[in-house]
Amino acid sequence: MKRKILKNIEWGILICTIILVAIGLIALTSATQNSNYEELQRQIIWLVVSIPVMIIIIFIDYELIAKISPILYGIIIVLLIAVLFTEPINGATSWFNIGPVSFQPAEFAKIICILMLALVITKIQKNGKDEISRIPKLLLVLITFAVPTFLIIKQPDYGTAMAFAMALVFILFVSGIKKRYIIGAILLIIIAVPLLYFFVLPEHAKTRIDVFLNPDIDPRGAGYNIIQSKLAIGAGELFGMGLFKGNQTQLGFLYPKTTDFIFALIAEEMGFIVASIVIILYVILITKAVYIAKTAKDELGSYIAIGIARCFFLSHGGKYWYDYGAFANNRYSVTIC
């Protein structure tokens, strides 16, 4: 049995993950040298905890994990409610702090909700794949998705909520939902997006969108961090400025360098080659996840795999592609400066 499990492991995903973790830890070492490596230590703790968890999960059939997902779903809903009563960090009530360890329930919710959605859709389709297109059954799926998404919006964390929405879209598309619903959803989004932007989103959320599209509209305010990240990416050139030697990183112009702009640090200190490797590794991860979804032995495995592919694509890949584009657009002007 152990040989069969080891044979079925997608080693490409494991190798890509190990390389990305190694690059991430090296970058985090540079980013935290002026703060006694506190965040690096926390990251190492999570890494040490995650390795045995990963090994255990490898030997558990995903069907069993999916079966207990309603229990996990209930627990995560309770945590998402409880986190709303914690002390805000940067304006958002998203984190639990327990001694030196902090964690964000929404991150666990990403995986748990994928499992739950996959299970619900699989149960619905026991009597035929077209069952998912029936209004009452589709409403059940949407409610399953809407409850955690609403709680995440309340934190507020619009980015994670959008990631949840895309997971639902990916899974429903693979499930074979009728085209009229897909077309209807697209039309609804086209109508809803401007309405949400002008009448629903708070001012700070609008500002983030505007600045993301055009950082130069407020170069010393909301656009400052994005512009500094582009400077850092361009300054790295081909081989980087060297670990612990990045101007934007080490002089405090890049913030927050341990989270949102860690890729900019990698590009500045390790250069275009290593930054490109990071992008390529994520492309491989996404490709492998989609391949697994296409070749899974059943619909449950397929839905879980495509949901996780969405995690790679939106949570990490999309941000890195934006930064990679920043490098291409700004390399020469930054070098001259």
DSSP 264-286: HHHHHHHHHHHHHHHHHHHHHHH
Q: Please name the residue that has the structure tokens 């900019």.
A: 264
Burial 106-139 (b: 16+ CB within 10 A, else e): beebbbbbbbbbbbbbbebbeeeeebbbeeebbe
When pLDDT is cut at 50, 70 and 90, the band that residue 261 belongs to is: confident
Region 60-79 average pLDDT: 91
Q: What is the pLDDT of residues 70-87, one digit of tens each?
A: 999 999 999 999 988 888
Flag whether pLDDT at 270 surpasses 80.
yes
Residues counted in the chain: 337
* pLDDT confidence of residue 68: 92
pLDDT confidence of residue 81:
93
Torsions phi, psi of 102, nearest 5? -130, 145
What's the pLDDT tens digit per position in 129-177?
Answer: 888 888 888 899 999 999 999 999 888 887 788 878 888 888 888 888 8
